[in-house]
Structure 1
Amino acid sequence: MTKVYTNAHIFTGEGEIENGYIRFSDEIIGVGKMEHYTKQVEDEEADLRGHFIVPGFIDVHSHGGYGVDNMDADAGKISDMTYKMLEEGITSYFPTTMTQSDENIEAALKAIDKAASMNPMIQGIHVEGPFISKKFKGAQPEEYIRVAQLDTLKKWQELSGERIRLITYAPETGEVSEFEEYCQDNDIILSAGHSGATYKQLKESKATHITHLFNGQLGLHHREIGVSGYGLLEDGVSVEMIVDGFHISEEMVKLAYKTKGADGIQLITDAMRAKGYPEGESELGGQKVIVKDKQARLSNGSLAGSVLTFIDAFKNMMTFTGCSMLEAVKMSSFNQAKEFNLASKGQLNPSFDADMVVLDEDLTVKQTILGGNINEFN
């Protein structure tokens, strides 16, 4: 039976309908103002007065959560973990690997490929490292870091089932022209991250994305604007942001929003296995991590990913910057779908997948709909 949500405040991705309806099965059949709604015989109605409906969130940078890390290389656990992310409003996910041995990365890629074959939420893979800068390694194990290697990437793309869509690299660490050309030819977005590249070096690169803006990179300086400045200044370059209040101060989040605008920002969680679990000891890439006061840190004090949920990133962005909910929607789904050519995602329009989130007036996730299947929470 066709479902219809009525009297809801709907954000389509490009606009909003203050009192609208949305008709859907596995995909969206119709959306519009209530004044234009006519009930059909097959419609099963639900009145969502006082609720918001937004496109399902898309997280293109996350290492795990709920006790699981993508590097565990367990397809079943990765798939189960991904479904738990529905509680946060996530409907599309890029499992993210990290700097490790080739053996471990390859095992993870094969497991993610297998998980993706049984889980429609997995829309691509983000390979973060090992082709990064040792100086800006952050929580990436230094012993496995090396310069970009094209043959290795080709092998990994094959092992992944051609699912790699995003790669974090440091373009200044070696000769990367052929590496970059291969990525462009194979629809892999090049993201500068864990990098000490200068503005000039980045202008000469083919990087069109910045991994977790301000973190693990050459930052802003009045004589050299570095990776962060390149991301903020250049049109056509998308920047990721971890908006948990720890990775970036509220003031810097607001500065980035005012400089870059909602069209150029993508919210991410960069979450690790401890997300959704009680605080205490955890692990990332074989390294001990302590989670305390909603922060995940290595023993040396370095931030080691986050325990941020996507719905909290969504709410924090509005709180920190004063941006509109429509702009927050753009930064949470629309921009990601556009950059990665996820043709049926990121918007609530006819023929798009029925991937959406129902929020109450406090922006608590009440339902996450994945391909028309309704998951109830709270």
Structure 2
Amino acid sequence: MRTLWTNAALYLPDGRREQGRLLVDETGRIEAAGGAELTASGPVRQIDAEGLTMLPGFVDVHMHGGNGYNVMDARYESLDGISRFHAAHGTTAFLATTNTSTGERIREALRCAAAAVERGVGGAELAGIHLEGPFLDVVRRGAQRKEDVRPPTPEEIDQFLEAGGGHIRLVTLAPELPGGLEAVRRFRGRGVTVSAGHSDATYAQMEAAVEAGVTHTTHHFNGMRPLHHREPGLAGAGLLLSELTTELIADGIHVHPAVVRLLFAVKSPGRVCMITDAVGCCGLPDGDYGHVRMTGGQVYLKDGETLAGSSLTMLQALRNVLAFTGLPLEAVLPSLTSVPARQVGLDGRKGTLEAGKDADFLLVDDELRLVATYVRGREVYRREEPAAE
């Protein structure tokens, strides 16, 4: 049966509706969205969301794990666990993001993720794959193992594309590597968005990369040549080249709050793509987890110096950006919804609350605490209310 949600403060592409209504059809797609004037003919189930705010669901295009699960586990159970954990923190669609490793281990993770895309998972929708590496610059490899970083070859690219089964939507590579620009063109020819990351590229090299088809940067300011007044590097290119959309980890650790404010001011929210870069220990207590240590929510290699992902969630990222920038909610929302969806080719069905799109939405209270998460009209998370005394 169709469902009509009423009385929510509803965030639509053209603004906020105080007495918003959302009509969802039997397939989990949005039939109509609007204000109090929206009516539904025929049989319909009504749900009153008075006192709550309805937001479009968050799309995380760069996430490695959570709640003890990792994409590189190459197990369906891990991907399902990741999807359920992040659905409880506002994510309604995500890309399973691989790590740099041996070719066979990466291909195993790609095959597992591709199968899970087709099978479906129980929480946030697994909407595709992000191949992060192994084609990275050893100088900017971050927490990636030096032994596993390598230049691209057409043969290995094709092996990864085959293992991904047509579900790789985003790849991170260093375009300045030998064969880097050819790799950009090869991935673009298969419909994959190419992001420059873990890269020591100069500004001129990034101009060439953009000409070859790069449209995205990976966790901007991190894992790249920094901005310098004599050599702007990848960091400067991301700020200045209009073709580039910049990922951002807004945990206040990877990027200083003032620089978060700077990025939004220079690029505008329409060219900032919020991500978590969450790893397996996200959501767990502080402690040692394999080769990383989490202390106070900060995740480092055990050398204590190299950041190794984050424990951030998308909902907390939203709260942080609001606090760091002073921007209103409606200005920041696209960076977590329509921008990531656009960047990886999901904007035909994700990212906004509009007719014809999937009914992916969040119900939050006045303090932006999550009440419930819906994916394709199906409730995949609801906050437990304290028992009455």
Structure 1 residue 204 displacement after superposition: 0.7
- 1:290 matched to 2:293? The reply is yes
* 2:337 paired residue among 333, 337, 340: 333
Q: Among residues 252, 255, 259, which one is paired with 1:252 in the alignment?
A: 259
Query: What amino acid sits opposite 2:148 in the alignment?
Result: Y
Amino acid at match of 1:215: N
Whole-angstrom distance in 2 between the partners of 1:14 and 1:147: 44
Q: Paired residue for 1:230, among 222, 234, 237?
A: 237
Q: Check 1:177–1:39 CA distance in 2 against 1; reply closer, same or farther (3 A cut).
A: closer
Query: What letter matches 2:79 in structure 1?
Result: I
CA offset at residue 41 of structure 1? 5.0
Contact 1:67 1:275 in 2 (8 A): yes
Q: Tell me the residue number matched to 2:387.
A: none
Q: Distance in 2 between matches of 1:234 and 1:346?
A: 24
Matched, 1:151 2:152: no
- CA distance in 2 between counterparts of 1:339 and 1:14 reads 20
How far off is 1:14 after superposition? Answer: 4.5
Q: Bigger shift: 274-283 or 240-249?
A: 274-283
- Partners of 1:14 and 1:347 within 8 A in 2: no
Q: In 1, distance between residues paired with 2:3 and 2:367?
A: 24
Distance in 2 of aligned mates of 1:250 and 1:322: 11
The aligned counterpart of 1:240 is 247
CA 158–39 in structure 1, closer or farther in 2 if over 3 Å, else same: closer
Q: What residue identity is the alignment partner of 1:296?
A: V
Distance 1:108 1:297 in 2: 23
**Where does residue 97 of structure 1 map in the other structure?**
98
Q: SS at the partner of 2:138?
A: coil
Structure-to-structure mapping, 1:1-378, within 5 angstroms:
1-25=1-25, 26-34=28-36, 36-38=37-39, 40-119=41-120, 121-205=125-209, 206=212, 207-283=214-290, 288-300=291-303, 301-342=305-346, 343-374=348-379, 375-378=381-384
Offset from partner CA, 1:252-303 (integer Å, 9 cap, x none): 10011111110000100000000111111113xxxx1111111001112211
AA paired with 2:218? T
Query: Structure 1-normalised TM-score?
Result: 0.96
SS at match of 1:135: helix
Unaligned residue ranges in structure 1 (runs of 5+): none
SS of residue paired to 1:126: strand
What CA RMSD, in Å, does the superposition of the two structures yield over aligned residues?
1.3
- Whether the 8 Å contact between 2:120 and 2:126 is mirrored in structure 1 is yes
Query: Following TM superposition, by how much is the alpha carbon of 1:236 offset from its aligned partner in structure 2, in angstroms?
Result: 2.0
Q: Deviations over 1:165-192 (max 9, x none)?
A: 1111111121323222211111111111
Partners in 2 of 1:193 and 1:339 — Cα distance?
A: 15
Deviates more, 1:86-95 or 1:115-124: 115-124
Aligned residues: 373
TM-score, length of structure 2 as denominator length:
0.93
Contact 1:13-1:55 at 8 Å conserved across structures? no
CA deviation profile, 1:316-359 (whole Å, cap 9, x unmatched) = 11111012212221000101122222111111111111111111
Q: Which runs of 4+ in 1 moved over 4 A?
A: none
